[in-house]
Structure 1
Amino acid sequence: MAYIFGSTSLMKSKGIVHPDSYFKIVEKNKIDWQLWIDVLQGKVAGAIFRDVFNQELRQQVCYNFWNSLTLKQQTDGLPPSVKALLGTSLEVITTNPLEVYFEEVKRTRKDIQSLFANTGDFFVFLIDNINEHLAAQGCSLRLAEYNGLKTGEYKMRSWGNTGTFVVAPHDDAGILGSPRMKDFEIGHLLNGRTVGVNICIENGEGGNLCYWNISPNDETRKALGFENDGFGYSLEYLANFDEVSVSIFPGDIYLFDTAKVHAIGRKTKDEENRLTVSWSMGLLNPTTFLYWG
């Protein structure tokens, strides 16, 4: 269920505040491919498809994850909020050259491609269906590239509480402005808009998606003390904008405009796993969509 909380005051902000007709997470009890495309095309902020990845397949993905040879855990230097990681995240380029990301992609690609083994490859099913529906509209979907190198397809993480949140308020657009992204396709997305896609594999109580109706720009991030890292939004600042809180359950697939500030709320019991498979999508040009892990 989604709840909308009204803003407490008005404040001039450099960025985009959308009307209510856009700022919503549309719920469905099955995968609606056209709705998925509507989110990609910027017609609505987000969508959630309830209980569309069954328990037997989720258990298989969990087994594959925890038994992966390239699984990283806290002792491998992960951020405090990440208990375990398979794959890699673009967040590594905030402190490392882009080549470090692609080295990790190469190191983990085989295990990543084995994550959905014995599930009928649910991820391929999703990508093939999106591609088919985009093709009917004269569009295509492919992995993002950098100098001929393909990105990772997705990543899977086990999350832990860090203070008030599992993942603190942030946006995914700031990193696209990093100088390191200059020659990378995803540094040139139309309108700098990204869509995050998540499959919830496990989740206990709590761990809601918290979502605010503000897409900050570079000027805002700089004024708040950060630029190419989207983390740093205070709750005091965010109180000026409408918020949606969405409960997330195992088997749900949810996707949303991640240029807007978002967070994952605190889990009631930190010992309960919050496991998600995630990737991002965006529009390179009017007919070419990209995805990356």
Structure 2
Amino acid sequence: MGAFIVKQDFRLTGVQTESAFFRFEERNEFDPEPVMDVLRGRRLGVIFRDAIPEDAKKETVARFWSSPGLLRRDGEPSYCIGSYHWNKSTESYLKDAATTADAVLPLLDVPHSPWRSFRSAMAEELARYGASIRIAEHEGEPAGAALIRAWDKEGSFALDPHEDEAQCTDPRQAGFEIQRAADYEICAVNMCVQQGDGGRLVVWNIRPDDDSRTSLGIQHTGFSYPAATLEPFDAIQLDVRSGDVYVFNGRHVHAVDACKGHRTNVSFLMGFVDERTVVTWT
């Protein structure tokens, strides 16, 4: 994809949310109820402090760095295990997910696994409303269960400003059920098992529209938004610590700011695809 030059008079447009919505709730223990509020579009995000047991953090980090499936991702510098659906065809993504599954699963099967605990709690909460949660699939093939990443990019951002809605409109993924999540809310789930200095989550109060995406040449990727285009908008800078679990609405432009050392997360996206079904993908 070629580079786009942003015109001097370009102004990022889209939806800005009210101040009552644009905030993170902070909890000291995990509770699926505020996660449901994020899924239903009633709040921006929630962070659960110290929600991951120490043994689970240590074992996940040890398995991550010693895994034969650990890859270096050069386009957006990081180490990772797992597959991204971003900027791929459905076939390519699902093939990658199948290829990396054997490397991903050991990191999800640690004692007191935060991934399993989160999904179990959400399944129980959703069942109260006659709904369920599962890994997304297409023609019987499953999406990635999780993506484990360690950001170490130098510069102002360890992960550049982007949003997660545009990538769910890629025509190469037409018919893939995750595209129906755009009719509801697309939520990012992150479980921090290792945290260097810095590495705050930054979220701006703007959900860009298609006109802005097209002008920037990122209509189906949502990556990335020049920092100068975000200056007019309010931003939340959320300190993240090892052991924290946070969930937020990925329609808003967000980033990870500069970090010294590794910032390692177990992550996935999730959203309703109909009134009774939440699916997850990577």
TM-score (norm. length: structure 1): 0.88
Instruction: Give the superposition deviation at 1:12.
Output: 6.8
C-alpha distance in 1, partners of 2:118/2:227? 35
TM-aligned CA distance change 1:40 to 1:192, over 3 Å: closer
Aligned to 1:261: 253
Any idea what SS the aligned residue of 1:167 has? strand
More moved, 206-215 vs 14-23? 14-23
C-alpha distance in 1, partners of 2:182/2:222? 18
Does residue 128 in structure 1 map to residue 117 in structure 2?
no
Instruction: Give the superposition deviation at 1:85.
Output: 0.9
C-alpha distance in 2, partners of 1:225/1:150? 30
One of 68, 72, 77 as aligned partner of 1:81: 77
Aligned to 2:140: 148
Sequence identity percentage: 30
C-alpha distance in 2, partners of 1:150/1:262? 27
AA aligned to 2:265 is T
One of 184, 189, 206 as aligned partner of 1:197: 189
Aligned to 1:106: 98
What are the residue-to-residue correspondences of 1:150-189 with 2, within 5 Å?
Answer: 150-189=142-181
Aligned to 1:5: none
C-alpha distance in 2, partners of 1:89/1:143? 14
More moved, 25-34 vs 141-150? 141-150
Does residue 279 in structure 1 map to residue 268 in structure 2?
yes
Residue ranges of structure 2 left out of the alignment (5+ in a row): 1-9
Aligned to 2:50: 51
C-alpha distance in 2, partners of 1:260/1:211? 7
Q: Contact 1:64–1:117 (CA<8 Å) still a contact in 2?
A: no
How well do the aligned residues superpose, as a CA RMSD in angstroms? 1.7
C-alpha distance in 2, partners of 1:151/1:240? 37
What is the count of residue pairs matched by the alignment? 273
Aligned to 2:277: 288
C-alpha distance in 2, partners of 1:67/1:51? 24
Aligned to 2:20: 21
Q: Contact 2:12–2:229 (CA<8 Å) still a contact in 1?
A: no
C-alpha distance in 2, partners of 1:126/1:208? 22
AA aligned to 2:92 is V
Instruction: Give the superposition deviation at 1:192.
Output: 5.6
Does residue 252 in structure 1 map to residue 222 in structure 2?
no
C-alpha distance in 2, partners of 1:122/1:279? 12
Any idea what SS the aligned residue of 2:26 has? strand
AA aligned to 1:59 is K
More moved, 115-124 vs 165-174? 115-124
Residue ranges of structure 1 left out of the alignment (5+ in a row): 1-10
Q: Contact 2:202–2:236 (CA<8 Å) still a contact in 1?
A: yes
Q: Which runs of 4+ in 1 moved over 3 A?
A: 11-14
AA aligned to 2:40 is Q
Q: Contact 1:155–1:278 (CA<8 Å) still a contact in 2?
A: yes
Q: Contact 1:173–1:192 (CA<8 Å) still a contact in 2?
A: no
TM-score (norm. length: structure 2): 0.92
Aligned to 2:4: none
TM-aligned CA distance change 1:163 to 1:13, over 3 Å: closer
C-alpha distance in 2, partners of 1:158/1:13? 30
Residues 156-189 of structure 1: CA deviation (Å, up to 9, x unaligned): 0111123210001011111111111211001122
AA aligned to 1:251 is G
Q: Contact 2:183–2:273 (CA<8 Å) still a contact in 1?
A: no
Instruction: Give the superposition deviation at 1:142.
Output: 1.2
More moved, 41-50 vs 103-112? 103-112
